[in-house]
Amino acid sequence: MGILSNILGKIFPSSHAANPPAAGNSVPSPGASAGLAPTAAPVAGPAMTEVDVEAMLNGLAAKSSEKLNWKTSIVDLMKLLGLDSSLGARKELAQELHYTGDTNDSAAMNVWLHRQVMTKVAANGGKVPADLKD
Protein backbone atom coordinates (compact mmCIF):
# COMPACT_ATOMS: atom_id res chain seq x y z
CA MET A 1 0.00 0.00 0.00
CA GLY A 2 1.38 3.40 -0.96
CA ILE A 3 1.63 6.56 1.06
CA LEU A 4 -1.34 8.15 -0.72
CA SER A 5 -3.44 5.09 0.16
CA ASN A 6 -2.35 5.48 3.78
CA ILE A 7 -3.40 9.14 3.75
CA LEU A 8 -6.78 8.31 2.22
CA GLY A 9 -7.24 5.46 4.68
CA LYS A 10 -6.71 7.82 7.62
CA ILE A 11 -9.14 10.44 6.28
CA PHE A 12 -12.00 8.23 5.12
CA PRO A 13 -14.01 5.67 7.08
CA SER A 14 -13.23 2.05 6.26
CA SER A 15 -16.47 1.76 4.30
CA HIS A 16 -15.42 4.53 1.90
CA ALA A 17 -14.51 3.63 -1.68
CA ALA A 18 -11.13 5.35 -1.27
CA ASN A 19 -10.00 2.26 0.59
CA PRO A 20 -9.14 -0.72 -1.58
CA PRO A 21 -11.07 -3.94 -0.97
CA ALA A 22 -9.46 -6.48 1.32
CA ALA A 23 -7.27 -9.12 -0.34
CA GLY A 24 -9.38 -11.76 -1.99
CA ASN A 25 -12.42 -9.48 -2.15
CA SER A 26 -11.44 -7.56 -5.24
CA VAL A 27 -13.65 -7.43 -8.26
CA PRO A 28 -11.84 -7.49 -11.60
CA SER A 29 -12.30 -4.29 -13.53
CA PRO A 30 -13.47 -4.24 -17.12
CA GLY A 31 -10.55 -5.03 -19.37
CA ALA A 32 -8.58 -6.88 -16.68
CA SER A 33 -8.94 -10.16 -18.54
CA ALA A 34 -7.61 -8.47 -21.67
CA GLY A 35 -4.38 -7.66 -19.84
CA LEU A 36 -5.23 -4.00 -19.32
CA ALA A 37 -4.37 -2.23 -16.10
CA PRO A 38 -7.18 -2.24 -13.56
CA THR A 39 -9.22 0.94 -13.35
CA ALA A 40 -10.70 2.65 -10.34
CA ALA A 41 -14.25 1.69 -11.22
CA PRO A 42 -16.83 2.38 -8.53
CA VAL A 43 -17.87 -0.63 -6.51
CA ALA A 44 -21.57 -1.17 -5.86
CA GLY A 45 -22.49 -0.86 -2.22
CA PRO A 46 -23.99 1.52 0.29
CA ALA A 47 -24.18 5.15 -0.77
CA MET A 48 -21.06 7.08 0.15
CA THR A 49 -21.33 10.23 2.15
CA GLU A 50 -19.00 13.12 1.56
CA VAL A 51 -16.42 13.53 4.31
CA ASP A 52 -15.93 17.10 5.58
CA VAL A 53 -12.13 16.92 5.51
CA GLU A 54 -11.60 20.40 6.92
CA ALA A 55 -13.79 19.72 9.96
CA MET A 56 -12.24 16.30 10.53
CA LEU A 57 -8.65 17.57 10.30
CA ASN A 58 -9.42 20.65 12.42
CA GLY A 59 -10.81 18.28 15.05
CA LEU A 60 -7.63 16.22 15.01
CA ALA A 61 -5.50 19.37 15.16
CA ALA A 62 -7.43 20.63 18.20
CA LYS A 63 -6.58 17.40 20.04
CA SER A 64 -2.90 17.43 19.01
CA SER A 65 -0.23 18.46 21.50
CA GLU A 66 1.65 20.11 18.60
CA LYS A 67 0.52 23.17 16.68
CA LEU A 68 0.15 21.69 13.18
CA ASN A 69 -0.78 23.74 10.13
CA TRP A 70 -2.26 20.98 7.98
CA LYS A 71 -3.83 23.52 5.56
CA THR A 72 -0.48 24.57 4.10
CA SER A 73 2.08 21.97 5.18
CA ILE A 74 2.30 18.43 3.84
CA VAL A 75 4.65 17.64 6.74
CA ASP A 76 2.08 18.81 9.30
CA LEU A 77 -0.74 17.02 7.45
CA MET A 78 1.18 13.75 7.54
CA LYS A 79 2.10 14.24 11.22
CA LEU A 80 -1.53 14.99 12.07
CA LEU A 81 -2.55 11.70 10.44
CA GLY A 82 0.15 9.80 12.34
CA LEU A 83 2.20 9.07 9.21
CA ASP A 84 5.92 9.29 8.51
CA SER A 85 6.61 12.84 7.31
CA SER A 86 10.34 12.41 6.71
CA LEU A 87 11.96 13.72 3.54
CA GLY A 88 12.29 10.12 2.33
CA ALA A 89 8.57 9.50 2.79
CA ARG A 90 7.71 12.74 1.00
CA LYS A 91 10.03 11.85 -1.88
CA GLU A 92 8.30 8.46 -2.09
CA LEU A 93 4.91 10.23 -2.17
CA ALA A 94 6.23 12.56 -4.88
CA GLN A 95 7.27 9.56 -6.96
CA GLU A 96 3.89 7.92 -6.38
CA LEU A 97 2.12 11.09 -7.60
CA HIS A 98 4.49 11.49 -10.59
CA TYR A 99 6.20 14.68 -9.47
CA THR A 100 8.41 15.93 -12.31
CA GLY A 101 10.22 18.66 -10.40
CA ASP A 102 13.47 18.47 -8.47
CA THR A 103 12.92 16.43 -5.28
CA ASN A 104 15.99 18.12 -3.80
CA ASP A 105 14.01 21.39 -3.81
CA SER A 106 11.91 20.23 -0.89
CA ALA A 107 10.06 23.54 -0.47
CA ALA A 108 8.65 23.46 -4.01
CA MET A 109 7.99 19.72 -3.79
CA ASN A 110 6.14 20.12 -0.48
CA VAL A 111 3.82 22.81 -1.85
CA TRP A 112 3.07 20.64 -4.90
CA LEU A 113 2.53 17.53 -2.75
CA HIS A 114 0.08 19.28 -0.45
CA ARG A 115 -2.06 20.54 -3.33
CA GLN A 116 -1.98 17.15 -5.07
CA VAL A 117 -2.96 15.29 -1.91
CA MET A 118 -5.85 17.67 -1.28
CA THR A 119 -6.96 17.24 -4.90
CA LYS A 120 -6.82 13.44 -4.55
CA VAL A 121 -8.76 13.58 -1.28
CA ALA A 122 -11.45 15.66 -3.00
CA ALA A 123 -11.54 13.25 -5.95
CA ASN A 124 -12.20 10.41 -3.51
CA GLY A 125 -15.22 12.02 -1.89
CA GLY A 126 -13.71 14.50 0.51
CA LYS A 127 -15.17 17.97 0.92
CA VAL A 128 -12.01 20.09 0.64
CA PRO A 129 -11.90 23.90 0.50
CA ALA A 130 -11.31 25.02 -3.10
CA ASP A 131 -8.24 27.07 -2.18
CA LEU A 132 -6.44 23.90 -1.01
CA LYS A 133 -6.79 22.04 -4.32
CA ASP A 134 -5.20 22.41 -7.74
**Model confidence over 111-122: pLDDT tens digits?**
999 999 999 999
The amino acid at residue 102 is D
Tell me what pLDDT residue 67 has.
96
> So what's the pLDDT on residue 70?
97
**Which H or E element spans position 9?**
helix 3-11
How high is the pLDDT of residue 50?
Answer: 83
Q: Which residues of the chain have pLDDT under 50?
A: 15-47
CB burial class (10 A; 0-12, 13-18, 19+) of residue 32? middle
Neighbours of 13 (CB within 10 A): 11
DSSP 47-115: PP--EEHHHHHHHHHHH-SS---TTT-HHHHHHHTT---SHHHHHHHHHHTT--S-TT-HHHHHHHHHH
pLDDT given for residue 14 in this prediction: 65
Question: So what's the pLDDT on residue 134?
Answer: 78
Q: Report residue 46 CA to chain centroid gap.
A: 22
